Each structure stands twice: as structure tokens, then as C-alpha cells.
Amino acid sequence: MTDAQFVYYLRSLKSTYQFFVTPNEYMKDYVDPVAKSYASENYRCNLEFQLTPQNTVAAVPTRTSDGTVIMDNGFPLGSNGTVSNSSILKNRLEDILNCQTLVTESNEAFEAARAGGQEYFITKGYAPVRITQDNKISGAGNERPLTVSKIYNKENGNTYLIDGILQNTTTSIYDVLSSKDDFREFYDMCALLGIFVNNPTSSTVAPGRKVKFLNQYHYTVYVPTNEAIREAQAKGWIPTVGQIENEGDQSVRDSLENVMERFVRYHFQDNSVFIKGEKVENKAYLTSTINEASNKFYPVYVTNKDGNITLVDEADYGTGRVSARVVKTEGMYNLMTRDMTLNSGDKEKATTIEAYTYAVIHQIDDVLWFEQPKGENAKDQK
């Protein structure tokens, strides 16, 4: 914590913290997100953190499969096979601490939210963590929930001892959308529009593909069912992928792509909203589609309560209609992702996390509209 300078941050009396502390004996099995991007499986590793005789931090890289110590990892290793490079260690410790620190309004407000059924919380570093009623806690990448063994109540928050590291996910938005047939229509549109990019520079690269217009923050992605998208296409509200691919007139194609992209981007919302997350009623969150008249982003209106998320889009706002609902089929909601950027133009030479984006993905039962669709099949006739 001292190496990452969190000690000064947590001493502040201006905020209240819920701080999750991993004792030394449990500082292991951290799935290293940078090493996981290497092509060679021999370089992919977990890290086991330890104190050196000089009372500094080092990390032993171990194989993810059997825990064997890796003496020839992609990171610079000392003669004893440990990672001691200060920039690498500080980068990973900050990643862990950002995931293990909640900034809350007060201890009372935090406990009230939990008593009201909230299980998902957003940490200081925008990572989602889940805390269940039986004091089990997990990050998006943990294989098992961690146990809280002791709680220290302090003036500016609570400290919890846990039996492991809260692990971030290494799954990207692209990984999720491209892997599920139930997301196929939405994914095909994103792919056609070039929303997923890598675009390495001389100094940065993504481990795989990332969404090009999201920043270092947390987001929600609403994916309409394949059937809902096809119905909207049949009504002429949005073009199909085939229409655009087969259009010979470039100006017409550009116009069709613009319609599709504005539709797609309206389904990307600022702030992560979870089933069993923070309760809100008709709360406006900004999307990634801009209102060209006002130069402001269109909102979508979210109600999250009683274990359900309902949405009202801008086209339906004020009509009393619900535009869409999150589909609560197992594996179709609360899907947690992280897009990352690494610190080298060649991911095989990357050593640190440069930037990241968190997002949660939900399937919804209908499409969302930032304005009333034009034509005889207007939305009020749906």
C-alpha cells in the first residue's frame, strides 16, 4: 500500500471508505492481465507477492495451470526468478488496491444499501465487486467468492480482512459480444462499423480488440435480442448489414452506416448498472449518441429495483411506456468485462496496464431509440 501511495489517500477524513485488505499469506494467484495477453503460454502467469529480506515487495511468476515457478517469464526477472521491477509491481498493486477500495457516502449509507439488497458496487478504480449478504465478496475474475474474516470499524470507514485478492476480469466487451449467438445481430453491426479496434501506436496496444469510443470509466452495454433487431430492420428503422455491404453508392452507404452507428451507440451507456446493483428510479444516464442539435449526448432513463432493470428511451420518454427490459436468463445479464490498453506497441513486450474500461453487458428484450423512428411504422405503432 505504501509503494502505491494509497496510505495517504486512505488517511483522508473527507471521504468514507470500505477497504478490503488481503493478508500476506493470501497475496497469491493474481492472474496477471498483461502476461495473459502474451502469445506464448509459457509466459502467461499468476503472480505471488512476497516481502523480501529488505522489506520490499517482489512477485514470483507461477504457471496458471500447476503453480510451477516460471524462471523465464516475459517480465524482467532478477537472478532469483522474482519480479522486482518497481514500475511493474506498482502498476499491479495499484490495480489490486483500486479494486479493493470503495468510496462511500458513509458507513451507514453503505450498510443501508446492503440491507436493501444491493450486492454490486463500483470501486475507486471503476471495477465492479459483489458483496453478498453472507459477507462473501468477489471481483469479476474470481473463481470463488472470498470470505471476510474480520471487520475493523474506523472513523472514516471500515476495513475488512479477506482470504484472497479481488481479481479483475480479463474478458473484453469484444470477447463477450463475439462469442454468443444470442448477441449475433448486434455484434455483426458493431463489427461492420469498425467499433472494435486494436490500432497499436508506437507506445500502446490492446491485448485484443476494444471499443474505440469508450474511456477510462465504467459503462453499461444493452444488447437487444436478435429478434428485436430483425423486427426493427423489417420496419425500416435501421438498415441491415447486408444492405450496407451491397450498397454500391458510397454516399448512400455512408448515410446508412451513420443511421446504424447512431442506433448502436445509443445502447452504450455511461455508468455500470447491475441487477442487484444500486437502486434507481427513472434516472437519466447519458449514452454515446450525440444530439446534433444541442451537441449533448442523448440520455436513457433507468429504473433498477426489485431485482429488475427497466428502460425508457428518449423516444418513449413522457409517454408512460417501458421501452425495454433486461432479460433475466442465466448468462444474459450482469456480464462483466474490461477493455485494456498496454504500455507497448507490441503486446509481447508490454509490462504494464496503461488504461482500461469497465463495462457490464445485459441482453434487453427490445431496441432503444434516441428519437422517434420516421415513416408509417413509427414507434407509437409498435
Evaluate if residue 11 carries a pLDDT over 60: no
User: Would you place residue 4 in the very low, low, confident or very high pLDDT band (cuts 50, 70, 90)?
Assistant: very low
C-alpha distances in Å from residue 36, one per residue of 50, 165, 307:
21, 17, 34
Each residue of 294-304: pLDDT tens digit?
999 999 999 99
Answer yes or no: is pLDDT of 2 > 60: no
Strands 16-21 and 157-162: parallel
Tens-digit pLDDT profile for residues 336-367: 999 999 999 999 999 999 999 999 999 999 99
**Predicted local distance difference test score (pLDDT) of residue 108:** 92
Q: Which residues pair with 152 in a beta bridge?
A: 159
CA distance 317 to 295: 19
pLDDT score of 20 more than 60: yes
Residue 364 backbone phi and psi in degrees, to 5: -125, 160
Give per-residue pLDDT as tens, 181-195. Answer: 999 999 999 999 999
> What is 245-312 written as a DSSP string?
HT---HHHHHHHHHHHHHHHHTTEEES---TTS--EEEEEEEEEEEETTTTEEEEEEEEEETTEEEEE
Mean pLDDT of the chain: 92
Look up residue 375 and give its amino acid. G
Residues 205-230 as b/e (b if ≥16 CB within 10 A, e otherwise) read bbbbbbbeebeeebbbbbbbbbebbe
CB 129 within 8 A of CB 121: yes
Please report, for residues 186, 224, 245, 329, 360, the alpha-carbon distance to residue 177 in angstroms, rounded to integers and kept in the order given: 8, 12, 21, 16, 11
In the structure grid, which three cell numbers stand for residue 231, read together? 423486427
Q: What is the pLDDT of residue 154?
A: 82
Read off the pTM.
0.94
| pLDDT tens digit sequence for 107-165 | 999 999 999 999 999 999 999 999 999 999 999 999 999 999 999 998 888 999 999 99
Residue-level pLDDT at 99: 96
Sign of CA dihedral 39, 81, 4, 163: positive
The residue ranges of every structural domain in the chain are: 6-162, 173-381
If one compares 54 and 163, the residue with the highest pLDDT of the two is: 163
**Statement: residue 240 has pLDDT above 80:** yes
Share of the chain above pLDDT 70, in %: 94
173-381 under CATH 2.30.180.10, yes or no: yes
CB 106 within 8 A of CB 16: yes
pLDDT at 13: 58
The winner for highest mean pLDDT among 31-45, 61-75, 252-266 is 252-266
pLDDT at 15: 75
C-alpha cell read off for 317: 420518454
